[in-house]
Amino acid sequence: MDEVKPVSSANLKSPQGPKCILSGVQPSGKLHLGNYFGAVKQHIAAQGDGECYYFIADYHALTTVHDAATLRQNVLDVALDYFALGLDPEKTAFFRQSDVPEVCELSWILSTVAPMGLLEKAVSYKEKVDKGLDSSVGLFTYPVLMAADILAYRSHLVPVGKDQVQHLEITRDLAVKFNNRFGDTFPLPDYRLTPASKVPGTDGQKMSKSYGNTIDIFAEGKALKKSVMGVVTDSKTVEEPKDPATCNVFALHSLFATPEQGEVLATKYQAGGMGYGVAKTELLSLIDAYFAQARERRRELASDMGQIQQWLRKGAEKARATARATLELVRSKCGLR
C-alpha cells in the first residue's frame, strides 16, 4: 500500500485549485526495473489524481553526465520510455527541466534562506562523493534545485522513492523558511512513497546504475535473458527446499506475478525438487508479458521523434506558465521588484 504522509495543517491552499502532483527523473542512463517499480509506475498511475507535472531533470543530470550528446540522447530515451509506459501528454505536463529556467532563479533565491548546516546534513551528497563523483558546488546544492523544482509549481504531492525523502524534508524546511521571512507563499509539499522501495539488482544489492546490476525495462531477447539468468542465488541443489523470503529471483518474480502465481512458486521453493533455473525462466516470461505492449509502443514512438519533441514542448509551455506566475509572486514578496 502507498504510504502517504498526512497533509500538514500548516499547508497553504494552492491558488491553482486542483492538487498539484509533481515528480522528476534524472536522465542518467537507461531506466531499469528499480526505477520502474520505485518511481515510474506510480507516476503513471497518479495521472488523473490531480494536475500532474513530471519532468526530466537534465539540470540535475549535469552533476553526473558530462557529455552533451549523451545527455541529449538520455533525455530523449527517458521521454520515449515514459510515453511508451503510459504517460498521457493530454493529462500530464511532461517536460525537460531546462525548458523552465525559472527554476534556476528560484533555486538561487531559496539558497539565500538555506542554512549551510541543513545541506551539510544531506546524505546523498556524501554518498555520491563516496561513490567517486566530483564534489562540485552543484552536487552540494542539488537539494536546493530540487526544492525549486517542487516549489515553482507550488506542488502538494511528490511521489518518490525512499532515497528522496530527505530531499523532500529539505524542501519543506526551505518553504517554511521562505514563508517565515517573506510571508506565506508556498504550500508545504508531502511525499508519497512507492511500495517497492528497494528492488534488488542481479547481485542482490539495491538495483542501481552505479552498481552495474540492473535489468533494464526495455531490454529484451538475449540481453534480457542474460541479465535474468545472471541473478545471484544461493548454491542449493535442485532437490533441496529453498527459502523464497531470501531469494532475489523470488523478490523480482513477486513484482510481476499475481498473488496466486507467487503462492504457487513459493510452494515449489519450499517443497524442493525445483532448480533456480526454472524460477528464472518463469520470471523471464513474466517480464516479457508485462512489458510486451510498452515495447511495441516504444518502437512505434521511436519512429516519430518529432512527435516526442512536440509533446515535450507542449508540457514545457504549461509548466513554464505556472513557474512564471510563482516567480512573479516570489520576486514581489522578496523585494526584487
Active site residues per annotation: 128, 206, 209
CB 226 within 8 A of CB 216: no
Nearer to ligand ADP by Cβ, of 195 and 272: the residue is 195
Q: What does the block give as the cell for 225?
A: 535473458
Using Cβ positions, the residue closest to ligand TRP within the complex turns out to be 24
| The entry of ligand ADP, ligand TRP, none that residue 57 binds, CB within 5 to 8 Å by partner kind | ligand TRP
198 binds, among ligand ADP, ligand TRP, none (CB under 5 to 8 A by kind): ligand ADP
Query: Shortest Cβ distance from residue 168 to ligand TRP (Å)?
Result: 8
Instruction: Give the whole-angstrom CA distance, residue 292 versus residue 208.
Output: 23
Cβ partners under 8 Å of residue 109, min gap 6: 178, 330, 334
End-to-end distance of the chain based on CA atoms, in angstroms? 46
C-alpha cell recorded at residue 245: 523470503
* Inter-residue contact 34 to 206 (CB < 8 Å): yes
Q: Of ligand TRP, ligand ADP, none, which one does residue 24 interact with (CB within 5 to 8 Å by kind)?
A: ligand TRP
Name the one residue in this structure whose C-alpha cell is 531533470. Answer: 57
Choice between 34 and 187, CB closer to ligand ADP? 34
- Other CB atoms within a 10 A radius of the CB of residue 115 amount to 11
CA distance 62 to 71: 8
Contact 87, 47 (CB under 8 A): yes
CA angle 227, 233, 235 (to 5 degrees): 135
Q: Shortest approach of ligand TRP to residue 254 CB, angstroms?
A: 24
Q: How many whole angstroms from its chain centre is CA 300?
A: 24
Nearest approach in angstroms of CB 127 to ligand ADP is 10
206 binds, among ligand TRP, ligand ADP, none (CB under 5 to 8 A by kind): ligand ADP
Could you list the residues that contact ligand TRP (CB under 6 A)? 22-26, 57, 60, 146, 149-150, 158, 160, 164
**Which residues contact ligand ADP by CB under 6 A?**
25-26, 28, 34-35, 38-39, 160-161, 163-164, 196-199, 206-210
Min separation Cβ 23 and ligand ADP, Å = 8
Q: Which is nearer to ligand ADP, 39 or 265 (CB)?
A: 39
Torsion of Cα atoms, 165 then 170 then 174 then 176, to 10°? 60
Minimum distance of ligand ADP from residue 189's CB (angstroms): 15
Q: Which is nearer to ligand ADP, 28 or 322 (CB)?
A: 28
Name the residue nearer to ligand ADP (CB basis): 20 or 78: 78
